[in-house]
Amino acid sequence: MSMSRTRNILGALIAAAVVVAPAAGGAQVAGNAADAPIAWGGDDLAITPDGFDLIGRAEITQGDNRLRAQRVNLTTTDGGGVTRVEAVGEVFFVTPTQTMRGDRAVYDLGTDELIVTGEVILAQGDNVVRGGRLVYNVRTETGQMAGAPTPGGNRVQGVFYPEGND
């Protein structure tokens, strides 16, 4: 697997986690995680013709950043480069300053698009955004959160605290 493409996996998820940043005053990812080694593990590993699956307590870490889910599937090219990452089941992505939670996350390296679905929660410090579906483009740093079903209909909800008001 190409190391530079593998580094892009966590880089993309880091970028997704900072979707809260514009309202929160500009998030920074601590350290230089892109240069840190990538460690991975799971209860089981399945090699497929299209890549590999980490099954059961799947986890990928790089520096202080961690992706965790019940299952993580990495789709690779014939040359070993990663083209798609799918995390399913209690998906968590954690950096020193941000967290993202969802039921399912899919990152397409070809389009630089990350889609997180389910009960999506993005948090940076005390700032929180909740919705049902997040679509985030890593290249353009643009995103859209669709609402989650609530008693009042499908809504996106959030709480932001101005700087200095902890």
- What does the chain come to in residues? 166
User: Which one is predicted more confidently, 119 or 20?
Assistant: 119
127-139: b (≥16 Cβ within 10 Å) or e: bbbbbbbbbbbbe
**Global pTM value:** 0.73
Of the pLDDT bands very low, low, confident and very high (cuts 50, 70, 90), residue 89 is very high
- Please write the tens of the pLDDT for every residue from 32-82: 556 778 788 999 999 888 888 999 999 988 888 888 999 999 888 888 788
Q: Over 90: is that where the pLDDT of 90 sits?
A: yes
Q: Over 70: is that where the pLDDT of 159 sits?
A: yes
- Please write the tens of the pLDDT for every residue from 108-153: 888 988 899 999 998 888 899 999 998 888 788 788 999 877 777 7
User: What is the gyration radius of the CA atoms in the chain, in angstroms?
Assistant: 16
